[in-house]
Structure 1
Amino acid sequence: MFAMEPIPAGTPIWAFDDRIDRILVPDASMLRTYPTFARMTESHGCVIAGLGLLMLGDDARFINHSDTPNVDLIAEGDWRAFKAARDIAAGEEITCDYEDICDDVRTAGSDRYLETAFA
């Protein structure tokens, strides 16, 4: 996802919207096989940190990972809203740190997760 126009630091970028975003309460076996499950259903999502919930189909799925993201959580530990962490230029890719949001990514480490989850 790329900025169409300049975005000042602190501007809200994304917020959970239950009209679009889907939350599942998965059983343990689904959580253990999540990357396979995601590929199988051609879906995208993550296990929400600390809650054991699986969020699928959200419009934030278009935000790629970066170790130096330009988007951050609005409130520490609250995955439901992101803001611009710094000024973002028009045409610049919008990125976040998946480890801030997803337990499955944090557990594996973002580099390892991204190498293996969708191989």
Structure 2
Amino acid sequence: MPLLIPTRVASSPIEGLGLFAQAPVAAGTPMWAFDARIDRLLEPDAALLVDYPELARLIDAHGCVIEGLGILLPGDNARFVNHADSPLMGRADAADWRRFVALRDIAAGEEITCNYEEICEDVREAGAARYLSGDVG
């Protein structure tokens, strides 16, 4: 299962829904890992997105362009992780987007965040503030 810690989805003060730790998490604890049985890497396909607008909306809201690979679509509640410039979780290895760990101790009830620029090529190219404002073309 990609999420490796107990979590819950709830209203977020950052944006819409967010993912929250249900129990304390120690710094360095593995929190999420890519699992091809649940998560999807999709090839960008304009025709597919036109034919299936609900998929296009899902990708727009929860997808992430992984450089050289395609669009990552988490298959579990990891899709509700919101952005923060000073995130609570990040890559276990700077060169590997497939594993994330707690960057510091996390209290039960804290919202789990990551830095979108760290993983998503499209966010990195636009800059998080511009991407999150919807002002990208």
TM (norm. structure 1) is 0.82
Question: 2:58 aligns to what?
Answer: 42
1:107 aligns with 2:118: no
Question: 1:63 aligns to what?
Answer: 81
Question: 2:32 aligns to what?
Answer: 14
Question: 2:68 aligns to what?
Answer: 51
Q: Is the 8 A contact 2:41 2:69 kept in 1?
A: no
Kindly tell me the number of residue pairs found equivalent between the two proteins: 111
Residue 56 of structure 1, CA deviation: 1.8
Residue 58 of structure 1, CA deviation: 3.2
Q: Is the 8 A contact 2:116 2:124 kept in 1?
A: yes
- Structure 2: any 5+ residue segments left out of the alignment? 1-18
Q: Is the 8 A contact 1:69 1:95 kept in 2?
A: yes
1:95 aligns with 2:126: no
Alignment RMSD (CA, Å) = 2.4
Residue 24 of structure 1, CA deviation: 1.4
TM (norm. structure 2) is 0.72
Q: 1:38 & 1:99 partners in 2: Cα distance?
A: 25
Higher relative contact order (CA 8 A, sep 6+): 1
SS in 2 for 1:81: strand
SS in 2 for 1:58: coil
- Structure 1: any 5+ residue segments left out of the alignment? none
Q: Is the 8 A contact 1:66 1:97 kept in 2?
A: yes
